[in-house]
Structure 1
């Protein structure tokens, strides 16, 4: 009989929070460049909520189990792992799926050695968010020192990473938006943003223009989509880039949207995702993260914000926390040995 493990499953394949439960499923085995990692903690992401209700397609060949980021200990390896990884190594990493489980099969090209300075919980919250921010700012937006940048959803995990990267790499100004004053203060006081604007009580476009002497901002990283589309066009500077990574505010544009700015301002509008990228692409981003950010994790220059840690038996509560949009940083689940 095949060896089994426990994992978070969804009754009927998709459904509400109440459909999440722990079940026994076959334990994976490592082949090729893969390793089997015994998971100590895993991070939650908004894509997990969409996948749970059947609105996020899983990449071909990926596990249907939720979760793409984790920390743990290598239990076994395939016949062609990266040389630097061996049984017993403490690691964290990014996967195409399967992290809500006791064990995961993942390419060693997507693993990072866990520094002793970081906890299992901190490490589990790094891969998806920090690699997404790294991809958005450098690979897509082509950020260079001296440019200004605005991060929407300023207290979300990706923006927490992105704001810190922008500040560290000498952006001329780093702006953020949020829907609560507390989150705006957090972006400025804890993360170092130049200013943050409450989109429910302020005209954030006017505030951005005022702060940039009417020029607008060079880069906007957006997770909202349709409901901010016109405002993004109004707030972006000439030759600016808008990077769209999500659509929390819908996918259908409201009537009256004026797209003239695309030509008048020579705007670049780029949509992107990380999970659908191939292993080679993700591996290069991993290397970029290790070179650029890992030293700053170790010495504390970059803050790893963990808002809530729950045992994985409370996965339903963890999903509720994410859906409420009240967190500042990661929600992490731990798995006891």
Structure 2
């Protein structure tokens, strides 16, 4: 069956509130060398999409300007040199852009077959959070069995993924969330203690829970607002891994001495600027280490809402309320 010449996609004619997004028709992209073309059945909604819509997270120069970083669907075309996949394979993947569309080009090294038993909606809830958590919590921060970790934003897509993965690999998990109900959800996912940051001081709780030792690793998306308390909450030789700045990026009048005294490491990254080779290495780790856990039910994506593609504005509005627990997914079926 020949490919259509045109597709529907979400357009961003200006930066701003969710309502600036509209729909537009454009030519179906063609895969280049090392790329695949996916007929999108579902697409994940993520904080970077919101930031791009607001004008604070521009796509790389060689990436599609269309919103959307994770998709799931069926391969309908292969670029030159692709041998890992065949037309008709069901895959999900981390896109460099272009996910909010009926067709999306993916680098083959950033695509993964659906875990056994998964449909497109469940598969679309995986790539962005699993790539991010694996790279920052395990590859960079080096979280290992027997260590302790504090995960901020425990009911976000990142948080629900990080809690489950850390627990599955033998870490003791603490987390923060914004309500007692969200804290209960975190405990159900495997956290030994969930801290309501609106009513409790997380640094004081961590100090009490760990006998004054602190935790080995912190995964943080708040940034400046939590920086001093994060440093205070780390054990000797601990690592703070920063993945976003929801609480600002500028830290003022901070005493650097604890970093030296406790031999701390402060690191962080964003996924989009990483090279294709780096992303392929993360993909390969996920296939080998994480996909079996998804297939045997040890872990699973937490999906809060599945909305029709036409309700992309409502999906972004929901994301901005921070009332959700887990992922928001758009269905294009």
| Fold match (TM-score > 0.5) | yes
> What's the secondary structure of 1:273's corresponding residue?
coil
Question: Structure 1 residue 26 and structure 2 residue 23: aligned?
Answer: no
Distance 1:168 1:78 in 2: 36
Distance 2:54 2:272 in 1: 18
Partner of 2:85: 85
Distance 1:109 1:50 in 2: 25
Partner of 1:223: 221
Match for residue 323 of structure 1 among 312, 320, 324: 320
> What's the secondary structure of 2:96's corresponding residue?
coil
Deviations 1:184-216 (A, max 9, x none): 111112x11111101110111111111111100
Structure 1, unmatched stretches of 5+, are: none
Partner of 1:5: 7
Q: How does 1:93-132 map to 2 (within 5 A)?
A: 93-132=93-132
Q: How does 1:196-215 map to 2 (within 5 A)?
A: 196-215=194-213
> Would you say the 8 A contact 2:77–2:87 is kept in 1?
yes
Q: 1:59 deviation in Å?
A: 1.4
Distance 1:31 1:231 in 2: 47
Q: 1:107 deviation in Å?
A: 1.4
Deviations 1:68-87 (A, max 9, x none): 10100011111211x23111
Distance 2:216 2:147 in 1: 6
Deviations 1:206-239 (A, max 9, x none): 1111111110011000000010011101111111
Structure 2, unmatched stretches of 5+, are: none
Q: 1:258 deviation in Å?
A: 2.6
Match for residue 310 of structure 1 among 304, 307, 311: 307
TM-score (norm 2): 0.96
Partner of 1:149: 149
Deviations 1:44-63 (A, max 9, x none): 11011110011102112000
Q: How does 1:163-178 map to 2 (within 5 A)?
A: 163-171=163-171, 173-178=172-177
> What's the secondary structure of 1:262's corresponding residue?
helix
Distance 1:122 1:101 in 2: 18
Q: 1:259 deviation in Å?
A: 2.4
TM-score (norm 1): 0.95
Distance 1:295 1:125 in 2: 16
Segment of structure 1 superposing worse, 121-130 or 14-23: 14-23
Distance 1:135 1:141 in 2: 8
> What's the secondary structure of 1:11's corresponding residue?
coil
Q: 1:132 deviation in Å?
A: 0.6
Partner of 1:184: 183
> Would you say the 8 A contact 2:136–2:268 is kept in 1?
no
Q: 1:116 deviation in Å?
A: 4.2
Match for residue 332 of structure 1 among 310, 329, 332: 329
Distance 1:301 1:252 in 2: 39
Q: 1:115 deviation in Å?
A: 3.1
Superposed CA RMSD? 1.2
Partner of 1:15: 16
Distance 1:114 1:166 in 2: 22
Partner of 1:42: 43
Question: Structure 1 residue 235 and structure 2 residue 233: aligned?
Answer: yes
Distance 1:193 1:115 in 2: 25
